């Protein structure tokens, strides 16, 4: 009887403790909800608004779930009233909040943060210097962050036009960490691994070009970009209406771009980016220039100077280009269609695309293609980006080229028509940002030029006859069938490197065909 009474007492005490624990848990739940609601209503700055439809808190498991979140940040600048950043989230779930870490170790530790269907709309802001330091009282660590099916839209402040958009964003991020020191650095967070997917990327590149990408995938430190398109916003004709000086019409399509082992960081406030091998597959590039417009007289950097003066430190060991196609055309008069040069089946390797001060390796390019779809052509080119003289060495070959295949370009641009076959052409050039020199040798047959009249439709017989007195048709050669010429050229700093290269090749052709043809 005595034991039975003790058992009843123990049961009642245990039941009472359970009721007290349940009441404490319920109170904790209510307090947690009330604390979050109070923060939303009273602690956010006046220019921030946070609304939600439902909140579910489980103190026992350290879980909180919000549904239908609408977070708005109004522009503080009075000149930009109505410009707000808005983030809408279908649901946000916090899993595994570590209370011990939160209460005693000044650390917010979560096992998982799940964000479903976030839609971010914001404005591209002008570059500003922000001297305000963010105060973060607790370190934040999240084991895993999942973002599912998000969208992002960035607008221009001046006219609300689209600056960038990205659809179907999915992110998996491991070991996310930030703290009072990190949050105020150039890279405000640290993380372990990242997986990222997005589709339908659009980026406005300025007044004349835009970029579109079908899909972006990042995983295991590698990036793959599918269906890249960089194109002028206007047609060739309409682009000329919008220009006051020469500018290239561009249409670039690359089915696949990939880079391995991407890494980045900061050295003395300068961003550095390093990668493994990069690959561009099946690139198709069309470039058109309307030469009837005024010249663009701004100084052009050679590639060595451009690489040297990049605002970031870049280190790419190799870029491989396969199965490419390049077409370049110019319109120089209104009466005839633009002349075109085509390079088909383009394959190239670009080694050491880098401007790292501690590295001594030169940047080099090895390329081969079919000129006008039939004549094998090669180019070898190297330079040291760190040398301010912009010194370079270039060499190339052309074989089995029928000159009639380039007549559309020659007739339109040089008012000449060529006949004959270049069996072999070799050139070597060394130069810098000011001038260059080199040599050339050719083996060719029955080479003739006809000079055209201004309408480019009829032959100017007088000038053609005079020119034939100076042009050797390829019959006066050495014992191996070659004629030789020298190269001397001065760079026009308002023109590109490839214009410079063309000047060198043109001077070599003139010297070889018109000169004595002997090797010096």
Higher pLDDT pick, 367 / 156: 367
Q: Is 462 exposed, middle or buried (0-12, 13-18, 19+ CB in 10 A)?
A: exposed
Asked which of 206-210, 392-396, 465-469 is least confident by mean pLDDT, the reply is 465-469
Alpha-carbon distance of 150 to 165, in angstroms, equals: 11
Predicted local distance difference test score (pLDDT) of residue 334: 78
Q: Residue 365 in 3-state DSSP?
A: strand
- Exposure class string for 433-455: b at 16+ Cβ within 10 A, else e: beebebbbbbbbeebebbbbeee
Q: Residue 220 in 3-state DSSP?
A: coil
Predicted local distance difference test score (pLDDT) of residue 38: 56
Tell me the mean pLDDT in the region 43-64.
71
Alpha helices in 354-405 (DSSP H): none
Among 278-287, 288-297, 371-380, top mean pLDDT goes to 278-287
For residue 16, pLDDT over 60 is answered with no
CA quadruple 184, 185, 186, 192: dihedral sign: negative
**From start to end of 410-468, where are the E strands?**
416-431, 435-451
Q: Which band of pLDDT confidence, cut at 50, 70 and 90, is reported for residue 9? A: very low
Q: Is 279 exposed, middle or buried (0-12, 13-18, 19+ CB in 10 A)?
A: middle
CA of 326: how far to CAs of 247, 250, 343, in Å? 17, 11, 5
Predicted local distance difference test score (pLDDT) of residue 22: 43
- One-character DSSP codes across 92-103: EEEE---HHHHH
What's the pLDDT tens digit per position in 67-109?
Answer: 888 888 877 664 556 678 888 989 988 888 765 565 556 777 8
What's the pLDDT tens digit per position in 361-391?
Answer: 999 999 999 998 899 999 999 999 999 999 9
Pairing of strands 284-290, 313-331: parallel
Alpha-carbon distance of 230 to 378, in angstroms, equals: 26
Predicted local distance difference test score (pLDDT) of residue 105: 65
Predicted local distance difference test score (pLDDT) of residue 324: 97
Residue 174: both structure tokens together: 């491991």
Higher pLDDT pick, 64 / 214: 214
For residue 28, pLDDT over 60 is answered with no
Q: Which band of pLDDT confidence, cut at 50, 70 and 90, is reported for residue 259? A: very high
**Nearest Cα residue to 277 out of 208, 349, 181, 381:** 349
Contact status, residue 483 vs residue 289, Cβ threshold 8 Å: no
For a pLDDT cut of 70, what percent of the chain falls above it?
A: 76
Higher pLDDT pick, 339 / 370: 370
Query: Which residues, listed in sequence order, are joined to residue 375 by a DSSP beta bridge?
Result: 371
For residue 171, pLDDT over 80 is answered with yes
Contact status, residue 422 vs residue 442, Cβ threshold 8 Å: yes
Contact status, residue 99 vs residue 131, Cβ threshold 8 Å: no
Higher pLDDT pick, 163 / 411: 163
Number of H helices, E strands in the chain: 7, 24
Alpha-carbon distance of 507 to 502, in angstroms, equals: 8
**Please, what is the end-to-end C-alpha distance for the chain in angstroms?**
127
Predicted local distance difference test score (pLDDT) of residue 196: 94
Higher pLDDT pick, 254 / 506: 254
**Nearest Cα residue to 141 out of 117, 165, 113, 161:** 113
Contact status, residue 404 vs residue 473, Cβ threshold 8 Å: no
CA of 459: how far to CAs of 150, 255, 420, 514, in Å? 64, 44, 17, 21
Predicted local distance difference test score (pLDDT) of residue 36: 55
Instruction: Indicate left, alpha or beta for 220 from its phi (over 0: left) and psi (-120 to 50: alpha).
Output: left
Tell me the mean pLDDT in the region 213-234.
96
Instruction: Indicate left, alpha or beta for 196 from its phi (over 0: left) and psi (-120 to 50: alpha).
Output: beta
Alpha-carbon distance of 45 to 70, in angstroms, equals: 15
**From start to end of 25-161, where are the E strands?**
48-51, 54-58, 63-74, 84-95, 107-116, 119-124, 139-156
Contact status, residue 173 vs residue 140, Cβ threshold 8 Å: no
Predicted local distance difference test score (pLDDT) of residue 1: 47
Contact status, residue 64 vs residue 37, Cβ threshold 8 Å: no
Q: What is the mean pLDDT of the chain?
A: 81
Predicted local distance difference test score (pLDDT) of residue 183: 77
**From start to end of 1-83, where are the E strands?**
48-51, 54-58, 63-74
Tell me the mean pLDDT in the region 107-114.
85
For residue 252, pLDDT over 90 is answered with yes
Contact status, residue 350 vs residue 365, Cβ threshold 8 Å: yes
Alpha-carbon distance of 485 to 510, in angstroms, equals: 8
What's the pLDDT tens digit per position in 442-501?
Answer: 887 776 655 445 555 555 444 444 445 445 555 667 778 888 889 999 999 999 998 899
Phi, psi of 281 (to 5 degrees): -110, 130
């Amino acid at each position: 009887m005595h034991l039975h009474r003790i058992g009843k007492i123990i049961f009642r005490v245990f039941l009472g403790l359970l009721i007290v624990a349940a009441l404490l848990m319920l109170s904790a739940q209510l307090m947690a909800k009330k604390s979050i609601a109070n923060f939303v209503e009273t602690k956010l700055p006046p220019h921030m608004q946070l609304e939600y439809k439902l909140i579910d808190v489980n103190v026992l498991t350290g879980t909180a779930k919000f549904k239908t979140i609408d977070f708005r940040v109004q522009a503080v600048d009075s000149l930009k009233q109505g410009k707000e950043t808005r983030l809408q989230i279908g649901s946000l779930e916090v899993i595994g909040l570590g209370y011990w870490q939160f209460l005693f170790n000044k650390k917010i530790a979560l096992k998982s943060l799940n964000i479903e269907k976030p839609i971010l709309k914001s404005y591209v802001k002008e570059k500003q210097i922000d001297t305000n330091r963010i105060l973060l009282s607790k370190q934040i660590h999240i084991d895993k962050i999942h973002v599912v099916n998000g969208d992002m839209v960035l607008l221009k402040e001046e006219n609300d036009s689209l600056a960038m958009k990205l659809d179907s964003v999915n992110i998996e991020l491991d070991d996310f960490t930030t703290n009072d020191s990190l949050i105020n650095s150039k890279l405000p967070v640290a993380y372990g691994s990242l997986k990222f997917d997005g589709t339908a990327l659009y980026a406005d590149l300025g007044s004349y070009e835009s970029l579109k990408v079908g899909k972006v995938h990042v995983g295991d430190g590698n990036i793959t970009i599918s269906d890249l398109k960089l194109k002028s916003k206007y047609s060739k004709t309409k682009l000329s209406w919008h220009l006051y000086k020469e500018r290239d019409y561009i249409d670039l399509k690359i089915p696949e771009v990939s880079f391995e082992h991407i890494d980045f960081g900061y050295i003395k406030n300068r961003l550095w980016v390093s990668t493994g091998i990069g690959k561009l597959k099946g690139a198709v590039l069309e470039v058109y220039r309307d030469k009837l417009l005024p010249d663009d007289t701004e100084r052009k950097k050679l590639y060595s100077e451009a690489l040297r003066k990049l605002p970031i430190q870049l280190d790419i060991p190799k870029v491989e280009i396969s199965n490419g196609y390049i077409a370049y055309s110019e319109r120089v008069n209104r009466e005839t269609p633009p002349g075109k040069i085509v390079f088909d089946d383009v394959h190239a390797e670009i080694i050491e695309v880098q401007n790292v001060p501690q590295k001594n390796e030169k940047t080099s390019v090895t390329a081969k293609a079919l000129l006008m779809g039939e004549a094998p052509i090669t180019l070898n080119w190297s330079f040291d980006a760190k040398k301010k003289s912009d010194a370079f060495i270039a060499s190339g070959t052309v074989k089995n080229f029928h000159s009639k295949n380039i007549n559309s370009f020659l007739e339109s641009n040089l008012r000449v028509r060529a006949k004959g076959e270049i069996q072999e052409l070799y050139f070597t050039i060394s130069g810098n940002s000011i001038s260059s020199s080199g040599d050339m040798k050719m083996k060719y047959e029955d080479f003739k030029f006809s000079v055209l009249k201004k309408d480019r439709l009829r032959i100017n017989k007088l000038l053609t006859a005079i020119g034939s007195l100076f042009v050797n048709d390829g019959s006066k050669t050495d014992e191996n069938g070659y004629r030789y010429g020298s190269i001397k050229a001065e760079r026009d700093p308002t023109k590109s490197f490839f214009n410079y290269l063309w000047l060198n090749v043109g001077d070599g052709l003139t010297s070889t065909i018109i000169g004595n043809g002997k090797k010096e």
